Chain A
Amino acid sequence: AQSVTQPDIHITVSEGASLELRCNYSYGATPYLFWYVQSPGQGLQLLLKYFSGDTLVQGIKGFEAEFKRSQSSFNLRKPSVHWSDAAEYFCAVEGNEKLTFGTGTRLTIIP
């Protein structure tokens, strides 16, 4: 069975600073990987996805993620965060006809 680990429960960064959220997955085959963002009281919005090909994928809102098969990782990055990026971020892997999510990382932005 597939699984996703997000080791950081909560991260605080200053506005304008760079960001990296970690994600490690376990899946036997070629993974389909996703990052979703959830603002308070809202559903999940897709930031980006990796299916195949280029291991560096670009998403919305200036986010990018890099797939590293050797490390089973799919870390999310942003060069400069904005206060509006404060939210909870979920990494997910598709397998067995469903998405399996990590436990999420809550991002706090300080002025």
Chain B
Amino acid sequence: KAGVTQTPRYLIKTRGQQVTLSCSPISGHRSVSWYQQTPGQGLQFLFEYFSETQRNKGNFPGRFSGRQFSNSRSEMNVSTLELGDSALYLCASSGQVYNSGANVLTFGAGSRLTVL
């Protein structure tokens, strides 16, 4: 079956702009998580959605937001872009529910954002 699909794979923006990234999870998976990966900070958790509800959020400013649709597809948005937002943004999906056992994440290839 198809894996986690992220679009676009690469994009370049300028400071002050906003960006929307998309993630299509594995069919049947209802949980979608987002992570930011940078050389300096490594992999950091952004947020997690399950059945259109944000259940958990990492320590990022309010400029970072997301949502999940009824078909489990998810988008994340970053407004008023800063140079430090340049990163690889990874989406992961899971067919398990947290608190019901270990949650195995399957990651997409990521969206590489460059802010100039």
Contact = CB atoms under 8 A, between A and B. Distances in A.
A97 interface: yes
A41 B40 CA distance: 17
Interface in A40-74: 41-46, 49, 51
Contact of B90 (A44, A49, A97): A44
Contacts of B106: 46
B56 A49 contact: no
Nearest to B108: A43
Interface size classification for chain B = 20 to 34
A97 B48 contact: yes
Interface stretch (B11-19, B62-70, B96-104): B96-104
B112 to A, nearest CB: 8
A32 to B, nearest CB: 4
Contacts of A103: 42
A87 B55 CA distance: 32
Interface residues of A, number: 22
A13 interface: no
Contacts of A104: 42-43
Given A51-B101, A51-B102, A96 B56 contact: yes
B105 interface: yes
A44 to B, nearest CB: 4
Contact of B43 (A32, A42, A46, A101): A101
Interface in A67-111: 90, 94, 96-104
Contacts of B90: 43-44
Contact of B102 (A43, A94, A101): A94
B58 A98 contact: yes
Given A43-B90, A45-B107, A104-B42, A97 B102 contact: no
B24 interface: no
Nearest to A100: B45
Nearest to A32: B102
Interface of B: 4, 6, 33, 35, 42-43, 45, 48, 55-56, 58, 90, 92, 98-99, 101-110
